[in-house]
Amino acid sequence: MEEEFCEIVVTGPDADWLAGYTRTLVDERLAACGHTLAAVRSVYRWDGAVHDEPEARVALHTRRSLVPEILGRTAELHPYDVPCVIALPLVGGNPAYLRWIADETRPPES
């Protein structure tokens, strides 16, 4: 396939917030789907202090070309000042699943 795909990892305050966020991105055809882990534990440094907090995590499957639009929507929707949003390239996969991702997402806006 010509299109390249990726998995975008996003963390958020809880699974309910991430479910709504994911639903928005799927409704807007920015992501084909999202697989949510309801409970993850995040240990991080912020404002000079180490935090240990519960969070949730979603793995979105999409086109690499849609990453900029997803970053923009995340900036609009996410409650964090600096949300975790990282895109990991997919180097292969089930061809039928990759076609499904292409079918369920839209081309990027120019």
Give the model's pLDDT for residue 110.
Answer: 62
Q: List the chain domain ranges.
A: 5-104
What predicted TM-score, i.e. pTM, was given to this entire model? Answer: 0.93
pLDDT of residue 92 exceeding 80? yes
Annotate the chain with three-state secondary structure. CCCCEEEEEEEECCHHHHHHHHHHHHHCCCCCEEEEEEEEEEEEEECCEEEEEEEEEEEEEEEHHHHHHHHHHHHHHCCCCCCCEEEEECCCCCHHHHHHHHHHCCCCCC
What is the pLDDT of the chain when averaged over all its residues? Answer: 95
**What fold is seen in the domain 5-104?**
Alpha-Beta Plaits (3.30.70)
The whole-number average pLDDT for the span 74-88 is 97
Tokens read off for 19: 């479910």
Give the model's pLDDT for residue 1.
Answer: 47
Give the model's pLDDT for residue 41.
Answer: 97
pLDDT tens digit string along 3-43?
Answer: 699 999 999 999 999 999 999 999 999 999 999 999 999 99
Give the model's pLDDT for residue 86.
Answer: 98
| Spatial CB neighbours of 16, under 8 Å, sequence gap ≥ 6 | none
pLDDT of residue 2 exceeding 90? no
